[in-house]
Amino acid sequence: MKKICLSIIIIAIGLVITIRCGAQSAKPEKVYSIVKIHKSAEWYKEQSELWKKETDKDPKNANAWYNYYKAMRYYNMTTDSVSGDFKASISKKLVDIMNQMEKEVPNSYEFNLLKYDNAVFDFSLFPYLRKAYDMDPERIDAYPSLAAYYGNVNDTNNLKIIMNKWYLTNDFSEGFLDINYNTLMPLEKNAILIVNGDNIVYPEWVLQYVKGIRRDVKIILVCLFQVDSYRERIFNEMEIEPFKKNLNDFNNDERKYDQAMAEYIAQHVKGRPVYFSNTLDDYYLKNIKDNLYNEGLVSKYSIEKYDNIAILKRNYEKIFFKDYLSYNFTNDISQPIVNNINLYYVPAFLSLYEHYKASDDNDKAKEIMSRIYTIVGKTAYKDKYLEYIKEELKEE
């Protein structure tokens, strides 16, 4: 990702879900952030070609350059190719696009925003981002990067300002706000929550800095583990010794480094409960999975065993917003992604279903199974998930 941590593929219950949207287009279309609308690699490839033609016709068209860049970048992120050379060739094209923009539209909002966004976590380029924002403070394109920057440097005053400004645009999916309410509210006091993904972090910051909900929870971002200033600050705040190893100790494997960091934090924090978002890639948690207890949308790290079913039952019956899982009354362009992220409820709900059955609470068992089928039925791969459910319950 860039900005916070680009969450473009939803991994749930061991399956990778990508959203295939629409037939091939014949005209250039606005390329939305991939965390809001996720289309196929073929669509992004075609759009990159169409927007490239627009820049050829008018090299001073900053909007065309902007959409060309985003289409090419998202094509790189969604293509099925695993070739390093292929990925490198697209990355070079992105650099070429930036060079051409600097030549043709250097004073545009679009160039200054992309100059910052293209340089992953190079905070020395913040003046470009600030310049873009000052050019058009009402345009929301810069808000995610501004929020991520202020979050990284712990500038809570400016983070609160930009999150309030962003919230008032009605740009946030109601479904994502509901999901993240159900993530934050059940946590113990002063909890530490380790997360990844724009659709997780930003809505949680809305809840905290706009709505004043669960400001006591410390949200830690996996994608910033490798940023020295961020890592040092969170260690100070959590009062734990710095992580001694660096990326070289993991053969420059960023995933292994982030995995080790997640484990280190869970094992060394004292006096504060530690939770991991269930939307995190299982890879980061595989070495500590025996100490993780699913409580719905999060898993709590605990050395001592405890009855997580009792906590899950409380969360489901008394805390969770649930109606949004069945009904949606807004025209939400992100609804397909919301539907897929809702799949993260399913493993916990299946455990709760078995508890209700064992307790002879058949009405509750029927209710929660109905919710499971509703969640699964709204996804593109419902047949595969129904097979998973039957296998888990050992149904014929």
Find the CATH number of the domain harbouring 227. 3.40.50
Residues 38 and 122 in one domain: yes
Residues 137 and 207 in one domain: no
> What pLDDT is stored for residue 3 in this prediction?
46
Task: Give domain status of residue 310, yes or no.
Answer: no
Residues 71 and 136 in one domain: yes
Range of the structural domain that residue 237 is part of = 172-305
pTM higher than the cut 0.85: yes
pLDDT band at 87 (very low <50, low <70, confident <90, very high): low
pLDDT in tens, 162-206: 999 999 999 999 999 999 999 999 999 999 999 999 999 999 999
Task: Give domain status of residue 206, yes or no.
Answer: yes
Residues 16 and 154 in one domain: yes
pLDDT in tens, 24-46: 447 999 999 999 999 999 999 99
pLDDT in tens, 101-158: 999 999 999 999 999 999 877 889 999 999 999 999 999 999 999 999 999 999 999 9
Residues 120 and 182 in one domain: no
CB-CB contact of 7 with 1 (8 Å)? yes
Residues 127 and 199 in one domain: no
DSSP letter (8 states) at residue 243? P
Task: Give domain status of residue 313, yes or no.
Answer: no
Residues 72 and 128 in one domain: yes
Residues 300 and 215 in one domain: yes
pLDDT band at 329 (very low <50, low <70, confident <90, very high): confident
**How far is residue 365's CA from residue 206's CA, in Å, rounded to a whole number?**
34
Residues 79 and 197 in one domain: no
pLDDT in tens, 297-322: 999 999 999 999 999 999 999 999 99
Distances (CA, A) of 115 to 61, 93, 124, 141, 201: 16, 14, 11, 13, 23
Residues 85 and 226 in one domain: no
Instruction: Give the dihedral sign, CA 254/256/262/265.
Output: negative
Residues 135 and 260 in one domain: no
> What pLDDT is stored for residue 320 in this prediction?
97
What residue type is assigned to position 87 of the chain?
Answer: K
**How far is residue 261's CA from residue 267's CA, in Å, rounded to a whole number?**
10
Residues 128 and 40 in one domain: yes
